[in-house]
Amino acid sequence: MTIVDASELPGRRAYRLLVDCVVPRPIAWVSTIDAAGRVNLAPFSFFQAVGAEPPSVIVSIGRHRDGAYKDTGVNLRATGEAVVNVVTDDLAEVMNLTAGEQPFGVDELALAGLTPAPCRHVAAPRVAESPVSLECRLTQEVQIGDTENAYFIAVLEVLAFHVRDDLYDDGRIDPRRLRPLGRLGGNAYAHPGEVFEMERPPSRR
């Protein structure tokens, strides 16, 4: 068993080892608008559901190579709104088109040939091609680290769920039909594999 002391790893190497260990990760395909109303779309795999009352998710947002926060973070701070779109395996290649660094103000949704769709509570559009989208508002920021590479965690309250009709049944989504894409380390991704179910042991409390 190899033991690696995290304090001895430079930031980039720590990042690479971390994302190799924490797998597979769901992908938040986040659409926002800036103060001028221009659309931005970018994928983030530091993403998770963290609460149900109110329903909440977190997205961890890093920085560009020049030290400036990524456009998603800038837009979230300016407007307080975002849409988290779910990436399915059939959207992998087009999602990857939106992962490149573009000048601020470039509309990656249009760049990738995707379709903007209106939301009920937020001004940012959702991605019409995504089968599940979450309208969100920013409720809290948590900074991770104190270096020039520090991330911030955006805590997002879900205001509305958009779910494609063929996936939605009695308040649930069938994961076999959703086929969400998973992020691994490096340039690797995971297609959905075999889905199985297990009943939890009975509660003894």
Give the fold, CATH level 3, of 26-183: Pnp Oxidase; Chain A (2.30.110)
What's CA 142's distance to the chain center, in Å?
A: 16
Candidates 135, 134, 127; CA nearest to 110 is 127
- Write out the chain's pLDDT in tens, 205 residues: 999 999 999 878 999 999 999 999 999 999 999 999 999 999 999 999 999 999 999 999 988 877 788 999 999 999 999 999 999 999 999 999 999 989 898 999 999 999 999 999 999 999 999 999 999 999 999 999 877 778 999 999 999 999 999 999 999 999 999 999 999 999 999 988 899 999 999 988 8
3-class state of residue 40 by DSSP: strand
Alpha-helical regions (H) of the chain: 11-21, 71-79, 92-97, 108-111, 175-178
How many Cβ atoms sit within 10 Å of the Cβ of residue 11? 11
